């Protein structure tokens, strides 16, 4: 019956969504508590001013990172949010097919009256809903954290929301990439290694590209999803819809590739 | 016919390691309302056939018709009418059996909890535990409930009784007979002859990916023989002249082993002449031995050269 796999996936995983969400909510509160007052923010800025700008750029830090609460939250929360949520995305991507195939459960699932594409699509949507749920809880953490701040928070709710929405395309892309690799290689361990490497290498390419600060490095950097994420500056610049659409389209292509490949091939023993 | 395969072939490709032909031009027919045993040693191609019937893997060539539908093209419609139990049941280890049953029922769209409870009672199965907490025997019981709970027209069972205790095997056999009486069909694979003999109407023998024979179970039983080992003290009469005895081998000074078929009476009468029999053991032949006995070392084997439709 259509929708049953979607509902069942959510039923089994809603607790995980809460735990992940709470983890990110606590992480969202942390930057607001890290700097108790304006003087502390100034001290932080003085410390970072002493470093080489190229070195700081590798970590996504620049002169504005610690000059305001927006800069601080942008760097310490949104700057790492995609990298951290990618852990969830890889786990979710593996759960779409690779885990059940590797465990021998897929034979039972496909003996039911379900289409192969239905298994992938319903699970993918369930995990996207979970991702949004996790980020919604994280958003509540941000709002709660900002209410606790001793420094005036000059960030609107809409900007916070844009920061959260900005993570979704990249996280879904990682999820779809992992699902695609899982369907391609049919082995959970190999799929985990490839997807994990993809995230880490993508992050390093972005960091090194920024630190190198030249045209060639900047061109190479564009292959990284983190280059298009703009987490550290999202609270200042807001959403770039072109980037959102581009990442979403790539994720969509990977999802279609996953479905088509899964429809055509044998299920591993 | 409930199941018909047409020149079904499956070749597994292993990249640079080459290819392996798991099934070769299988032409098999299973009639409505029968219990069909699919017999063969491990690696013969039984599970490969079953997985193709369920569209889990695709044939290299040939096709399968089940209940008049194409097993690949019409798989979704077909799976409403099929109950399946794999050789090794793997499910979500942290899920309770009752939740798995309800999930399967919802996907199929016809959950009859009263019938599920009836099946659980007959199989003495506690549905409240998590999957990882069950023994292998209880996992088999859950597999049976999942396969039977929607009253399918066709049951496909891969090695269904392995792990079941003798009492549960009786319950299983009874369930299968009831399904047959209702006019439904059972296709079960096994590598244990006695298991198949107990309930099946017909048997297909598979070896090395080739369907070697399809026989009525009675015919196969008549070709049956067993190995007998006798340990004795003192004198043992000459057994080579007894009807049904062949291949007599003296293992050591006090033990004799031979092949025996037919009625026991002449053998037992001869053995009363022995001084003292310390130990008497009978052993079922292997499937391979039965096969060789029945088919004169394969001379009557159905192979792809004959391309004969195996339907009786």
For residue A113, pLDDT over 90 is answered with yes
Return the residue in B106, B110, B131, B156 with the most chain A beta carbons within 10 A, the one to mutate for interface testing: B106
Q: Which residues of A touch B150 (CB under 8 A)?
A: none
A5 vs B contacts (CB less than 8 Å): 107
pLDDT greater than 90 at residue A247: yes
Interface touch B77/A113, C-beta < 8 Å: yes
Interface subset of A 61-80, CB within 8 angstroms of B: none
pLDDT of B288 over the 50 cut: yes
Q: Does A268 touch chain B (CB under 8 A)?
A: no
The reply to whether A3 touches chain B by the CB within 8 Å rule is no
Does A266 sit within 8 Å of B86, measured CB to CB? Answer: no
Nearest to B56 among A4, A110, A113 (CB): A110
Contact A108 B146 (CB under 8 A): yes
Look at residue A2 and tell me whether its pLDDT is greater than 50: yes
In whole angstroms, how large is the CA radius of gyration of chain B?
Answer: 23
Q: Domain ranges for chain B, please list them.
A: 3-221, 225-284
Inspect the interface and report whether the beta carbons of B106 and A1 lie closer than 8 Å: yes
pLDDT at B295: 58
Q: Is the pLDDT of residue A263 over 90?
A: yes
Taking an 8 Å cut-off on Cβ atoms, the answer to whether B84 and A108 are in contact is yes
| A16-to-A23, A90, A131, B84 alpha-carbon distances in Å | 11, 14, 11, 31
The pLDDT tens digits of the residues spanning B32-78 come to 999 999 988 888 899 999 999 999 999 999 999 999 999 999 999 99
- Range name among A6-10, B161-165, B203-207 with the lowest pLDDT average: B161-165
B82 CA: distance to closest CA in chain A (Å): 8
Task: Give the 3-state secondary structure of chain A.
Answer: CCCHHHHHHHHHHHHHHHHHHHHHHHHHHHHHHHCCCHHHHHHHHHHHHCCCHHHHHCCCCCCCCCCCHHHHHHHHHHHHHHHHHHHHHHHHHHHHCHHHHHCCCHHHHHCCCCCHHHHHHHHHHHHHHHHHHHHHHHHHHHHHHHHHCCCCCCCCHHHHHHHHHHHHHHHHHHHHHHHHHHHHHCCHHHHHHHHHHHHHHHHHHHHHHHHHCCHHHHHHHCCCHHHHCCCCCHHHHCCCHHHHHHHHHHHHHHHHHHHHHHHHCCCCC
The confidence score (pLDDT) of residue A7 equals 96
Q: Are B107 and A6 in contact (CB under 8 A)?
A: no
Structure tokens at A174: 């990682």
CATH architecture of B3-221: 3-Layer(aba) Sandwich (3.40)
Mark yes or no for CB contact A111/B56 under 8 Å: yes
> What digits encode the pLDDT tens for the residues A140-170?
999 999 998 878 888 899 999 999 999 999 9
Taking CB atoms and an 8 Å limit, are A8 and B103 in contact across chains? yes
Per DSSP, what are the bridge partners of residue B206? B211
Q: How far apart are CA A131 and CA A129, in angstroms?
A: 5
Is A214 in CB contact (< 8 Å) with chain B?
A: no
Report the pLDDT value the prediction gives residue B306, as an integer from 0 to 100: 34
Question: Who has greater pLDDT, A1 or B283?
Answer: B283
Q: Which residues of A touch B55 (CB under 8 A)?
A: 110
Q: Do A1 and B89 touch (CB under 8 A)?
A: no
Residue with tokens 């992050």: A203
Mean pLDDT of B217-223: 71
More confident residue, A148 or B79: B79
Instruction: Tell which A residues from 232 to 251 touch B, by Cβ distance under 8 Å.
Output: none
Assign B183 to helix, strand or coil.
coil
Residue A186, min C-alpha distance to chain B (Å):
14
- Identity of the residue in B79, B88, B90 whose CB atom sits nearest the CB atom of A113: B79
CB B44 within 8 A of CB B146: no
Given this model, what pLDDT does residue B222 score? Answer: 62
Whether chain A has a CB inside 8 Å of the CB on B146: the answer is yes
Selected residue with higher pLDDT from A136 and A151: A136
- Name residue B250's beta-bridge partners: B256
C-alpha span between A112 and B287 (Å, rounded): 33
pLDDT at B310 (0 to 100) = 33
- The C-alpha of A148 sits at a distance from chain B's nearest C-alpha, in angstroms, of 39
CA distance B111 to chain A (A): 12
Highest mean pLDDT out of A43-52, A221-230, B58-67, B302-311: B58-67
Least confident of A113-117, B103-107, B228-232: B228-232
Mean pLDDT estimate for chain A: 90
User: With an 8 Å Cβ cutoff, are A107 and B107 in contact?
Assistant: no
pLDDT for the residue A65: 73
pLDDT in tens, A43-69: 877 787 778 777 777 777 777 777 788
Residue of A nearest to B102 (CA): A8
Query: Which of B87, B54, B90, B53 is CA-nearest to residue B159?
Result: B87
Q: In whole angstroms, what is the distance from residue A48 CA to residue B109 CA?
A: 62
- At which residue do the structure tokens 């709002």 appear? A143
Residue B92 has its nearest CB partner, among A105, A107, A267, at A105
Shortest Cα distance, chain B CAs vs residue A126, angstroms = 16
pLDDT for B124 = 93
> Residue B75 contacts by C-beta under 8 Å, 6 or more apart in sequence?
B54, B55
Q: Is A126 on the interface with B (CB under 8 A)?
A: no
Cβ of A1 within 8 Å of Cβ of B88? The answer is no
To the nearest 10 degrees (0 to 180), the angle between helices B97-108 and B136-148 is 20
Give Dmax (Cα) for chain A. Answer: 65
Which residue carries 């591993």 as its tokens? A268
- Reported as type and span, the H/E element at residue B171 is helix B166-181
Question: What mean pLDDT comes out for the span B94-111?
Answer: 94
pLDDT at B216: 87
What CA–CA distances, in Å, run from A208 to A55, A71, A75, A243, B201?
9, 21, 17, 21, 71
- Among A8, A105, A111, beta carbon nearest to B54: A111
- The mean-pLDDT minimum among A129-138, B36-45, B216-225 falls in B216-225
Give the confidence band of B309 by pLDDT, cuts at 50, 70, 90: very low
Nearest to A1 by CA among B72, B80, B142, B82: B80
Q: Residue B223: its pLDDT value, please?
A: 64
Q: How high does pLDDT run on average in chain B?
A: 87
β-bridge partners, A108: none
Could you tell me if B149 lies within 8 Å of chain A, comparing CB atoms?
no
B202-213 pLDDT, tens digit per residue, is: 999 888 899 988
Neighbouring CB atoms inside 10 A of A246's CB total 14
A114 vs B contacts (CB less than 8 Å): 76, 79, 107
pLDDT, one tens digit per residue, over A184-197 is 998 899 999 999 99
Nearest chain A residue to B150, by CA: A112
HSE of A264 in the Cβ direction (CA atoms, 13 Å)?
7
Instruction: With beta carbons less than 8 A apart as the criterion, state whether A32 and A146 touch.
Output: yes
Sequence ranges of the domains in chain A = 4-264
Q: State how far the Cα of B55 lies from the Cα of B51, in Å rounded to an integer.
A: 6
Interface test with A, best of B48, B54, B77 (most A CBs within 10 A): B54
- Can you tell me the mean pLDDT for B114-130? 95
Could you tell me if B84 lies within 8 Å of chain A, comparing CB atoms?
Answer: yes
- What is the rounded distance in angstroms from the CA atom of residue B152 to the CA atom of residue B134? 25
Q: Any idea which fold B225-284 has?
A: Alpha-Beta Plaits (3.30.70)
Distance between CA atoms of residues A268 and A263, nearest Å: 13
Q: What is the pLDDT of residue A257?
A: 97
A104 contacts B90? CB cut-off 8 A = yes
Choose from A113, A119, A126, A261 for mutation: most chain B CBs within 10 A.
A113
> For chain B, what percentages of helix, strand and coil (3-state, to nearest 5) are there?
30, 30, 40
């Amino acid at each position: 019956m259509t929708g049953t796999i979607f509902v069942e996936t959510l039923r089994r995983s809603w607790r995980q969504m809460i735990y992940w969400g709470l983890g990110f909510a606590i992480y969202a509160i942390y930057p607001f508590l890290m700097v108790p007052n304006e003087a502390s923010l100034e001290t932080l800025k003085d410390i970072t001013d002493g470093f080489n700008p190229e070195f700081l750029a590798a970590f996504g830090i620049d002169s504005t990172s610690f000059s305001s609460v927006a800069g601080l939250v942008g760097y310490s929360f949104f700057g790492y949010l995609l990298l951290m949520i990618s852990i969830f995305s890889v786990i979710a991507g593996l759960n779409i097919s690779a885990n059940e195939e590797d465990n021998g459960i897929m034979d039972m699932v496909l003996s039911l009256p379900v289409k192969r594409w239905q298994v992938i699509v319903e699970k993918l949507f369930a995990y996207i809903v979970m991702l949004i749920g996790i980020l919604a809880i994280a958003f509540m953490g941000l709002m709660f954290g900002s209410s606790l701040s001793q420094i005036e928070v000059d960030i609107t709710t809409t900007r916070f929301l844009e920061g959260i929405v900005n993570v979704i395309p990249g996280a879904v892309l990682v999820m779809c990439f992992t699902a695609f690799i899982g369907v391609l290689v049919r082995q959970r361990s190999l799929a985990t290694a490839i997807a994990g490497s993809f995230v880490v290498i993508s992050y390093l390419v972005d960091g090194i590209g920024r630190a190198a600060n030249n045209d060639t490095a900047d061109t190479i950097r564009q292959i990284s999803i983190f280059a298009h994420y703009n987490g550290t500056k999202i609270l200042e610049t807001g959403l770039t819809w072109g980037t959102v659409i581009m990442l979403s389209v790539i994720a969509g292509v990977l999802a279609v590739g996953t479905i088509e490949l899964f429809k055509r091939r044998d299920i591993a023993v | 016919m409930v199941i018909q395969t047409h020149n079904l072939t499956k070749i597994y490709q292993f990249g640079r390691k080459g290819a392996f032909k798991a099934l070769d031009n299988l032409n098999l027919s299973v009639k409505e309302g029968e219990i069909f045993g699919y017999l063969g040693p491990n690696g013969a191609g039984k599970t490969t056939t079953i997985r193709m019937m369920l569209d889990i893997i695709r044939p290299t060539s040939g096709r399968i018709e089940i209940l008049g539908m194409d097993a690949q093209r019409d798989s979704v419609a077909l799976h409403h009418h099929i109950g399946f139990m794999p050789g090794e049941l793997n499910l979500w280890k942290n899920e309770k059996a009752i939740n798995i049953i309800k999930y399967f029922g919802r996907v199929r769209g016809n959950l009859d909890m009263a019938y599920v409870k009836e099946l659980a009672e007959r199989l003495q199965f506690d549905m409240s535990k998590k999957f990882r907490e069950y023994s292998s025997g209880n996992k088999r019981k859950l597999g049976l409930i999942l396969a039977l709970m929607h009253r399918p027209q066709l049951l496909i069972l891969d090695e269904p009784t392995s792990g079941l205790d003798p009492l549960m095997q009786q319950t299983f056999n009874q369930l299968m007979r009831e399904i047959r009486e209702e006019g439904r069909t059972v296709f079960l694979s096994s590598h244990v002859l006695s298991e198949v003999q107990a309930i099946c109407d017909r048997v297909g023998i598979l070896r090395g990916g080739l369907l070697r024979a399809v026989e009525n179970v009675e015919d196969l039983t008549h070709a049956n023989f067993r190995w007998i080992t006798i340990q004795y003290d003192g004198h043992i009469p000459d057994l080579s002249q007894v009807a049904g005895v062949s291949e007599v081998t003296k293992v050591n000074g006090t033990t004799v082993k031979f092949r025996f078929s037919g009625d026991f009476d002449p053998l037992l009468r001869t053995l009363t002449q022995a001084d003292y029999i310390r130990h008497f053991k009978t052993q079922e032949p292997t499937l391979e031995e039965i096969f060789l006995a029945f088919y004169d070392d394969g001379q009557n084997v159905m192979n792809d050269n004959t391309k004969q439709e195996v339907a009786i």
